[in-house]
Amino acid sequence: MQNTIYWDHNHECMPREELEQLQLERLQATLNRAYKNVTCYRTKFNALGTVPEDVNSLADLSKLPFTTKDDLRLNYPYGMFAVPLREVVRIHSSSGTTGKPTVVGYTKNDLKTWSNLVARFMTAAGVTHDDVVQIAFGYGMFTGAFGLHYGSETIGAAVIPMSGGNTDKQIMIMQDYKSTVLVCTPSYAITIAERIEKLGFDPKSLSLKVGLFGGEPWSESIRRDIEARLAISATDNYGLSEIIGPGVAGECQLKCGMHIAEDCFIPEIIDPETCQVLPVGSTGELVLTSLTKEAFPMIRYRTRDITSLDYSTCECGRTTVRMKKTMGRSDDMLIIKGVNVFPSQIEEVLMAIDGCQPHYQLVVDRKGTLDVLEVCIEVTENIFFDEMKKQRAFLDKVGKRIDSVLGVGVSVKLVEPNSITRHEGKAERVIDRRKP
Ligand code: DLL
């Protein structure tokens, strides 16, 4: 692609051989530091009879033990830190809903690395120092807002730290301050788009041109919906607090997978059941190893996110591997009548049906020994207020479409327009009534 602007051309476009050499050197340094300074890693290595010196090639990585969320919980709050607290300058935590959150720390260098990684994917998505970036992620322990904030400043863009919620004010600021970039979760982007429609003005009258959306799974259909409703280019970016926050991967303007910052993280795809590394191109659980982090090195961290990797060259000139949009987390996978179903698959089906709105909820319950799924969808007013016969035909159509695509029968329920909660952060798509 001509005229591509890179933030860090050297690392983004490195020939693979050179990149792998850099990865190996950084991996060895990370393993040594982790082994020396973090009891959890030392214990795991010792149990396997391995020492960092056994890793002489990138292939040797697959011999090392995994790290899981449970390890982080067991070492709460600071047990996984590889530096003394006096060297830590920032603490964040992950957005878990159960139990204790996981705590992550950053040294001054880590913050610099993080800001540059965010600047990298923002630049790839088309953001420059001329932009006005409105951050509508909640500021707090969540890494989203601070990550994008410092990344924007590093680029030299003007940051509006709006934080999440207060949709009318978001829109007013967008109009008055002439924001050109919107940063939030995709579900909040839909909430904003809907509100703009209610207010009755043309989104083209705004200065917005790019959306940087992440923090939760979203389908290609949702992307098309947001792009049409906000008149912007909507890009995806991925990350998780345990690894650094946003900045692990992000789309370039070609939007054909998220470029992983491979000079800082090594990705692997494993079978979540057998834990075996899968062949290139397979879909499975993403495992990440950090290569440059000082305070909180992560070795073979099981993300639980399901995706696949594409090593083919991207037309943008970047040589880094691209990860596909995630299907969701393996913990979010539902098993309905023996069929594995991800909420994102249902989203794809619904969004392809005329009249379905991007607001839905999946209610899972148990009847006897079977899990049953009810799909509650919001539809446009004309369908909701249509005569019973037509409504029934519509429900029938949705049920049949889900059955034919996913191979599982579900019950479908129409709910009133605006009755499903709108989201300011990450959406909650699944209501699980099976749990006590
Ligand atoms: O959500 C970090 C982040 C913030 C990434 C803002 C991008 C933008 P956590 O709260 O620790 O960190 O949640 C991490 O969110 O394991 C995925 O399951 C999910 N996730 C994050 N980005 C995406 C994405 C942040 N683009 C968890 N697509 C991850 C799908 C995503 N899922």
| Whole-Å CA distances, 369 to 96, 282, 330, 335, 375 | 28, 32, 21, 12, 20
| Whole-Å CA distances, 102 to 148, 215, 265, 305, 413 | 20, 16, 20, 17, 37
Region 154-159 average pLDDT: 98
pLDDT of residue 121: 98
Q: Is 217 in the pocket of ligand 1 (CB under 6 A)?
A: yes
Q: Is 307 in the pocket of ligand 1 (CB under 6 A)?
A: no
d(CA 151, ligand 1 centre) in Å: 16
Burial (Cβ within 10 Å: 0-12, 13-18, ≥19) of residue 277: middle
User: How much is the mean pLDDT over the chain?
Assistant: 94
pLDDT tens digits along 311-324 = 999 999 999 999 99
Ligand 1 atom 6, closest CA: 144
Bigger pLDDT: 337 or 303?
303
pLDDT of residue 368: 83
Q: Which fold has domain 1-330?
A: Rossmann fold (3.40.50)
d(CA 252, ligand 1 centre) in Å: 18
pLDDT more than 70, % of the chain: 98
CATH number, span 334-432: 3.30.300.30
Q: Is 134 in the pocket of ligand 1 (CB under 6 A)?
A: no
Q: Is 154 in the pocket of ligand 1 (CB under 6 A)?
A: no
d(CA 101, ligand 1 centre) in Å: 15
Torsion-angle region of 355 (φ positive above 0: left; ψ -120 to 50: alpha; else: beta): left
Helical pair 186-199 and 220-230, crossing angle rounded to 10 deg: 30
The number of helix segments (H) and strand segments (E) in the chain equals: 12, 21
Residue partners of 126: CB distance under 8 A and separation at least 6: 209, 210, 233, 235, 253
Q: What band does 1 get if pLDDT is binned at 50, 70 and 90?
A: low
Do the bridges between strand 88-93 and strand 265-270 make them parallel or antiparallel, or are there none, so unpaired?
unpaired
Q: Is 303 in the pocket of ligand 1 (CB under 6 A)?
A: yes
Nearest to 336 by CA among 285, 283, 410: 410
Q: What is the DSSP letter of 332?
A: G
d(CA 260, ligand 1 centre) in Å: 14
pLDDT of residue 28: 98
Give the start-to-end residue ranges of the domains of the chain.
1-330, 334-432
Ligand 1 atom 16, closest CA: 240
Q: What band does 306 get if pLDDT is binned at 50, 70 and 90?
A: very high
Question: Model's pTM, two decimal places?
Answer: 0.95
CA distance linking residue 71 with residue 63, whole number of Å: 18
pLDDT of residue 435: 67
Region 15-30 average pLDDT: 98
Q: What band does 97 get if pLDDT is binned at 50, 70 and 90?
A: low
Region 195-213 average pLDDT: 97
d(CA 416, ligand 1 centre) in Å: 30
d(CA 138, ligand 1 centre) in Å: 14
pLDDT of residue 374: 94
Bigger pLDDT: 184 or 334?
184
Q: Which atom of ligand 1 is nearest to the CA of 217?
A: 30
Out of 88-92, 163-167, 334-338, 374-378, which region has the weakest mean confidence (pLDDT)? 334-338
d(CA 393, ligand 1 centre) in Å: 37
Q: What is the DSSP letter of 430?
A: E
Ligand 1 atom 4, closest CA: 144
d(CA 48, ligand 1 centre) in Å: 31
Sign of CA dihedral 108, 110, 112, 114: negative
Q: Which atom of ligand 1 is nearest to the CA of 95?
A: 10
pLDDT of residue 188: 96
pLDDT of residue 420: 93
Q: Which atom of ligand 1 is nearest to the CA of 242?
A: 11
d(CA 213, ligand 1 centre) in Å: 10
Q: Is 215 in the pocket of ligand 1 (CB under 6 A)?
A: yes
pLDDT of residue 2: 59
d(CA 143, ligand 1 centre) in Å: 9
pLDDT of residue 300: 98
pLDDT of residue 158: 98
Ligand 1 atom 10, closest CA: 95
pLDDT tens digits along 218-274 = 999 999 999 999 999 999 999 999 999 999 999 999 999 999 999 999 999 999 999
Q: Is 343 in the pocket of ligand 1 (CB under 6 A)?
A: no
The best mutation among 287, 308, 326, 426 to test binding of ligand 1, ranked by most ligand atoms within 8 Å of the C-beta, falls on 326
d(CA 329, ligand 1 centre) in Å: 10
